[in-house]
Structure 1
Amino acid sequence: MTIQYINRPEQLPQLCEQINQEPWIALDTEFLREKTYYPKFCLLQIAAPGWVACIDPLAITDLSPLLESIYNPNIVKVLHSCRQDLEIFYQITGRIPGPIFDTQIAAPLLGFQENPGYAMLVSSFLNINLNKAHTRTDWSARPLSEDQIEYAADDVIYLCKIYTMMCEQLEKLGRLNWLDSDFALLNNSELYQLSPENAWLKIRGKNKLTGRQLSILQALSEWREQTAQTENKPRNWLFPDDMLLELAKLQPVTLTDLAKIRNINERSVNRYGKVLCELIDAARQRPPKPLNEKERPTKKTQQHEAIMDVLSAVVRIRAEENSLNPVILATRKELEQLLFGEEDNPLLHGWRFKMAGKELQGLLKGEYSLSLTPDTVVISPVTHQ
Structure 2
Amino acid sequence: MTTIQYIDSAEQLPLLCEQIKQAAWLALDTEFLREKTYYPKFCLLQIATPEWVVCVDPIALPQLETLFDAIYDPNIIKVFHSCRQDLEIFHQITGKLPSPVFDTQVAAPLLGFQDNPGYAMLVSSFLNVNLNKAHTRADWSKRPLNEEQIQYAADDVIYLCQIYQVMIQKLAELGRTDWLIHDFAALENPELYLVEPEKAWLKIKGKNKLTGKQLSIVQALAEWRERTAQAENRPKNWLLRDEIVFDIAKLQPETPAQLADIRGMDMRIISRHGVALSKLVSEAKLRPPIPLSLTGRSAKKSQQQEAILDILTALVRIRAEENQLNPSILASRKDLEVLLFDDDDECPLLHGWRFSMAGKELVGLLKGELSLGIAVDKINIINN
TMscore range, shorter length: over 0.9
Q: Could you say if the C-alpha distance between residues 325 and 347 of structure 1 is closer, same or farther in structure 2, counting changes exceeding 3 Å?
A: same
Give the fraction of aligned pairs with identical amino acids, expressed as a percent. 66
Give the equivalent residue in structure 2 for 1:300. Answer: 301
Amino acid at match of 2:218: L
| Cα deviation code 1:169-210 (max 9, x no counterpart) | 000000010000000001110100122111111111112222
Q: Could you say if the C-alpha distance between residues 256 and 295 of structure 1 is closer, same or farther in structure 2, counting changes exceeding 3 Å?
A: farther
Compute the displacement of 1:68 (Å).
0.3
Q: Aligned partners of 2:73, 2:94: CA distance in 1, in Å? A: 14
Partner SS, residue 298 of structure 2:
coil
Give the equivalent residue in structure 2 for 1:3. Answer: 4
Give the equivalent residue in structure 1 for 2:245. Answer: 244
Amino acid at match of 1:350: G
Q: Aligned partners of 2:7, 2:195: CA distance in 1, in Å? A: 31
Give the equivalent residue in structure 2 for 1:360. Answer: 362
Compute the displacement of 1:296 (Å).
7.3
| Cα deviation code 1:125-165 (max 9, x no counterpart) | 00000011211111000001111111100100000000000
Give the equivalent residue in structure 2 for 1:348. Answer: 350
Compute the displacement of 1:293 (Å).
3.9
Does structure 2 retain, via aligned residues, the 8 Å contact 1:207–1:295?
no
Does structure 2 retain, via aligned residues, the 8 Å contact 1:44–1:55?
yes
Matches within 5 A, 1:156-171: 156-171=157-172
Give the equivalent residue in structure 2 for 1:39. Answer: 40
Matches within 5 A, 1:129-168: 129-168=130-169
Residues 276-285 or 292-301, more deviating:
292-301
Does structure 2 retain, via aligned residues, the 8 Å contact 1:122–1:130?
yes
Q: Aligned partners of 1:192, 1:97: CA distance in 2, in Å? A: 13
| Cα deviation code 1:210-257 (max 9, x no counterpart) | 222111111111111111111111000111112112211221112222
Q: Aligned partners of 2:93, 2:323: CA distance in 1, in Å? A: 41
Does structure 1 retain, via aligned residues, the 8 Å contact 2:295–2:342?
no
Runs of at least 5 residues in structure 2 that lack an aligned partner in the other structure: none
Q: Aligned partners of 1:294, 1:111: CA distance in 2, in Å? A: 33
Does structure 2 retain, via aligned residues, the 8 Å contact 1:29–1:41?
yes
Matches within 5 A, 1:175-324: 175-293=176-294, 297-324=298-325
- Which TM-score applies when normalising by structure 1? 0.97
Q: Aligned partners of 1:377, 1:24: CA distance in 2, in Å? A: 44
Amino acid at match of 2:38: Y
Q: Aligned partners of 2:309, 2:264: CA distance in 1, in Å? A: 44
Residues 30-39 or 341-350, more deviating:
341-350
Compute the displacement of 1:285 (Å).
1.3
Give the equivalent residue in structure 2 for 1:123. Answer: 124
Matches within 5 A, 1:73-152: 73-152=74-153
- Which TM-score applies when normalising by structure 2? 0.97
Aligned residues: 382
Compute the displacement of 1:277 (Å).
0.4
Compute the displacement of 1:61 (Å).
1.7
Give the equivalent residue in structure 2 for 1:375. Answer: 377
Compute the displacement of 1:291 (Å).
2.2
Compute the displacement of 1:274 (Å).
1.0
| Cα deviation code 1:259-286 (max 9, x no counterpart) | 2112212222222211110001011111
Give the equivalent residue in structure 2 for 1:334. Answer: 335
Q: Aligned partners of 1:256, 1:220: CA distance in 2, in Å? A: 18
Give the equivalent residue in structure 1 for 2:28. Answer: 27
Matches within 5 A, 1:52-71: 52-71=53-72
Q: Aligned partners of 1:187, 1:135: CA distance in 2, in Å? A: 27
Q: Aligned partners of 1:117, 1:158: CA distance in 2, in Å? A: 13
Amino acid at match of 1:138: D
Does structure 2 retain, via aligned residues, the 8 Å contact 1:3–1:52?
yes
Amino acid at match of 1:103: T
CA RMSD across the alignment: 1.2
Does structure 2 retain, via aligned residues, the 8 Å contact 1:207–1:296?
no
Q: Aligned partners of 1:351, 1:128: CA distance in 2, in Å? A: 31
Amino acid at match of 1:162: I
Q: Aligned partners of 2:148, 2:357: CA distance in 1, in Å? A: 46
Does structure 1 retain, via aligned residues, the 8 Å contact 2:221–2:280?
yes
